[in-house]
């Protein structure tokens, strides 16, 4: 455990040296809705008019996002994924929306979404074709960037299908420059590392300079197995990817699938808690027009959202694996900490996990005391704890307990200040 802390801390010093994309956007993880996992490439509007990829789908989502409280808690971007364009570019070489499914065009859709106080995201691809076989942007980066800017698009998800792997970096960087040249602020969501990993370890400082967030691992599916695989990948690579995350640039573990078919309620809580800990973009892919009230309440939980959106923008990481529990921690502003404990045992009933502050890697913040609040599975003020009191939290199979830990300085102000100063320098070694 100590070894992990030391290693991460050394890398953390490196974070501040990595410049982010200078477009002033995504200073907190992006929040919104993205069509892919739930609606995929459903273009059959004759037999499935309610769920096909058409302007109606995004207009209805925008309506619900405002009327059902989503916008109020921070969900802002309504994002189109693949399968929106026509198979032909227009006579000026520009992409155009499928005329049957988007009869009024993307500009009108953007106007509509903006009139609701929301933002519009769109999708394109670095290579010769999108993953779904629609026109790719290779050779058209400037034209496509300008088209999106002219339409009033606010976010671009740029996929990497049908592209030479050795040209990924060049292509993603060129599109970043093309977006900048339009003069419009457009959040730039990349899949550069996802496609580059099979070739070699990606250059994350180059990625952070070009992109606002980036997908590292495979697409999320509507299953616990998929969510677990993404978490495992993230923890396995945390010493490489955690230090580069911060305001302006985030690791993207893909969409929230909460409110669909594949996750139990405990598993939905685990996804929400861990996506908050990972400072992940919160892009829901579900049907907001018809969502179970418990899933809605979870996705709109302001305390969890606040952990995700914390202004210091530090990504959390796995600090311990013990007895089929995983412990993840995320540093928060004000010297606070968020703590997630996941019960990985998929058999039996709730199991108690003993939280002793002294065993947390960041235990020093609790000198002399901490105030502990449980956010999930239910809200509970657990009160002031010293380093050695033992709290037992009960966690269901494949569920997660999410806690916040707030230092209480007590009379020992000077002592605490000393710890705090030390922790801001690279002096953990002498402390531990």
Ligand X SMILES: *[C@@H]1O[C@H](CO)[C@@H](O)[C@H](O)[C@H]1NC(C)=O
Min separation Cβ 255 and ligand X, Å: 25
- Of 82, 159, 254, 266, which is the active-site residue? 159
Please confirm, yes or no, whether 90 is among the known catalytic residues. Answer: no
- Give me the torsion for CA of 214, 187, 275, 242, rounded to 10°: 50
Taking alpha carbons only, the member of 320, 298, 175, 190 closest to residue 244 is 190
Name 373's bridge partners.
381, 404
Q: How far is the CB of 84 from ligand X (least distance, A)?
A: 23
- Closer residue to ligand X (CB): 11 or 384: 384
Which helix (H) or strand (E) covers residue 296, if one does?
helix 293-299
Instruction: Tell me if residue 142 is catalytic.
Output: no
Nearer to ligand X, 60 or 173 (CB): 173
Question: Would you say 105 or 185 has its CB closer to ligand X?
Answer: 185
Dihedral sign (CA 23, 28, 32, 36): positive
Least Å distance, CB 154 to ligand X, is 12
Residue nearest to ligand X (CB): 23
Q: What is the binding site for ligand X (CB under 6 A)?
A: 22-23, 167, 170-171, 174, 180, 183, 185, 371, 373, 381, 384
The catalytic residue among 142, 150, 219, 239 is 219
Q: What is the smallest separation between the CB atom of 355 and ligand X, expressed in angstroms?
A: 15
What letter would DSSP give residue 374? Answer: E
CA distances (Å), origin 93, targets 84, 97, 128, 147: 17, 13, 14, 10
Element (H, E) at 13: helix 2-15
Comparison of 86 and 371: residue with beta carbon closer to ligand X: 371
H-only helix segments in 36-167: 36-39, 55-67, 70-73, 105-115, 141-151
Q: How many whole angstroms separate alpha carbon 361 and alpha carbon 357?
A: 9
First vs last C-alpha separation in the chain: 11
Q: In degrees rounded to 5, what are phi and psi of residue 410?
A: 60, -155
Q: Which one, 144 or 329, has the nearer CB to ligand X?
A: 144
Nearer to ligand X by Cβ, of 19 and 429: the residue is 19
Q: How far apart are CA 218 and CA 226, in angstroms?
A: 9
State residue 368 phi and psi, 5-degree precision: -90, -20
Give the residue numbers annotated as catalytic, written as ranges: 159, 219
């Amino acid at each position: 455990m100590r070894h992990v802390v030391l290693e991460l801390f050394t890398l953390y010093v490196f974070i501040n040296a990595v410049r982010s994309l200078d477009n002033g956007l995504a200073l907190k993880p992006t929040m919104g809705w993205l069509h892919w996992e739930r609606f995929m490439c459903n273009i059959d509007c004759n037999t499935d008019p309610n769920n096909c990829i058409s302007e109606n789908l995004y207009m209805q989502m925008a309506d619900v996002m405002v009327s059902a409280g989503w916008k109020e808690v921070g969900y802002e971007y309504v994002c189109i994924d693949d399968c929106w364009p026509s198979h032909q570019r227009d006579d000026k070489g520009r992409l155009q929306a499928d005329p049957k499914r988007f009869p009024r065009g993307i500009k009108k859709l953007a106007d509509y979404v903006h009139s609701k106080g929301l933002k519009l995201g769109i999708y394109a691809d670095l290579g010769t074709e999108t993953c779904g076989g629609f026109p790719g942007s290779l050779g058209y980066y400037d034209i496509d960037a300008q088209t999106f800017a002219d339409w009033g698009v606010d976010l671009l998800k740029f996929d990497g299908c049908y592209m030479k792997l050795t040209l990924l970096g060049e292509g993603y960087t060129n599109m970043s420059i093309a977006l900048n040249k339009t003069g419009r602020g457009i959040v730039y969501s990349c899949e550069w590392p996802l496609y580059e990993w099979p070739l070699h370890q990606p250059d994350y400082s180059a990625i952070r300079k070009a992109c606002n967030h980036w997908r590292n691992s495979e697409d999320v599916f509507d299953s616990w197995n998929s969510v677990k695989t993404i978490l495992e990948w993230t923890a396995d690579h945390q010493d490489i990817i955690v230090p580069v995350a911060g305001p302006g640039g985030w690791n993207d573990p893909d969409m929230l699938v909460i409110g669909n078919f594949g996750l139990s309620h405990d598993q939905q809580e685990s996804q929400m808690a861990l996506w908050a800990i990972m400072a992940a973009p919160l892009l829901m892919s579900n049907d907001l027009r018809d969502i179970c009230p418990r899933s809605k309440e979870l996705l709109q939980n302001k305390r969890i959202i606040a952990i995700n959106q914390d202004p210091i923008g530090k990504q959390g990481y796995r600090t311990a694996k013990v007895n089929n529990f995983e412990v993840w921690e995320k540093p928060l502003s004000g010297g606070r900490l968020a703590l997630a404990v996941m019960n990985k045992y998929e058999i039996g009933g709730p199991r108690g996990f003993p939280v002793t502050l002294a065993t947390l890697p960041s235990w020093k913040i609790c000198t002399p005391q901490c105030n502990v609040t449980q956010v999930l599975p239910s809200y509970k003020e657990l009160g002031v704890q010293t380093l050695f009191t033992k709290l037992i939290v009960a966690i269901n199979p494949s569920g997660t307990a999410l806690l916040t830990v707030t230092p209480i300085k007590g009379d020992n102000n000077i002592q605490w200040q000393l710890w705090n100063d030390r922790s801001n320098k690279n002096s953990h070694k002498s402390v531990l």
